[in-house]
Amino acid sequence: MIIARTPAEYIELRKSHAGKSLGFAPTMGALHAGHESLLQKARMENEISVLSIFVNPTQFNDKKDFEKYPQTWDADLALAEKNGVDIIFAPTFESIYPDQYTYKIIESDFSKLLCGKDRPGHFDGVLTIVMKLFQIVQPTRAYFGEKDFQQLTLIQNMVKAFFLPVTIVPCPTLRESDGLAMSSRNVRLSNEERKKAPEIYRIINQKISATEAHHQLTQAGFGVDYCVDLLGRRFVAVRLGEVRLIDNVQI
């Protein structure tokens, strides 16, 4: 397993794998079993696998949230090694934003709903970094979790809009045994909050209206940013203490 710290370093490494299919899992680190499932698929379906680890500051509208984002570098390396990752691309900010974020990818419709409404600029940052990563990594297939369904949809549509030569592979949400969707943010929950968090999935997964689910979440003590049905799915974002959690289920 080799680590590249700049686009130039990565491009040099990529040359020795020219012509091979490449599976790519873009992440912000703090890896868990959900990421592991992406890496395993990437490994299985391609000749080489690449993991990127970069906590992308441009997608955080809240500076505190960025500063508190969990960083677990050593454990991430061990997990990557265990899952047969060939290259880790972990760029510095300066190397991946030589333009200081003056150039952006902006989607002007779906990105303004749901998380885009509560986190202005979030998806501009996500789409811009993913476009940069695709340009550098040159993946055959890229793996994204359905937990971030809005992100996944926006990336699928960006690939179509810009004719990018990559196949996006959606991967099912992995859940803890109590139903809580796996997320890097879960480690920030206190013991009390962690006990309460599985209620999110239990409530949205019932055969009730989104309005009723919203009501039940509020009653259970969550700060509800949204709970809406769209595109055949129910999407939810709630605040639990200082942590914002999202989930979605098919309806």
* Smallest separation (angstroms) from ligand PAF to the CB of 56: 4
| Closer by beta carbon to ligand PAF, 154 or else 238 | 154
| Closer by beta carbon to ligand PAF, 112 or else 202 | 112
Give catalytic status of residue 215 as yes or no. no
Q: Which of the following is catalytic: 35, 122, 214, 215?
A: 35
180 with 200: CB under 8 angstroms? yes
Positions touching ligand PAF (CB under 6 A) are 26-28, 56, 59, 126, 129-130, 148, 151
* Smallest separation (angstroms) from ligand PAF to the CB of 212: 30
Q: Which of 74, 85, 82 is nearest to 2 (CA)?
A: 85
Strand-by-strand arrangement of the 22-27 sheet: 2-4, 87-89, 48-53, 22-27, 141-145, 167-171
Q: Which of 65, 94, 72 is nearest to 27 (CA)?
A: 72
23 with 139: CB under 8 angstroms? yes
* Smallest separation (angstroms) from ligand PAF to the CB of 54: 7
| Closer by beta carbon to ligand PAF, 14 or else 132 | 132
227 with 204: CB under 8 angstroms? yes
List the beta strands (DSSP E) in the chain: 2-4, 22-27, 48-53, 87-89, 141-145, 167-171, 223-230, 233-240, 243-250
| Closer by beta carbon to ligand PAF, 122 or else 214 | 122
* Smallest separation (angstroms) from ligand PAF to the CB of 168: 11
Question: Residue 22 forms beta bridges with which residues?
Answer: 48
* Smallest separation (angstroms) from ligand PAF to the CB of 207: 30
Q: How far is CA 203 from CA 199, 216, 220, in A?
A: 6, 7, 10
Q: Which positions are catalytic? A: 35
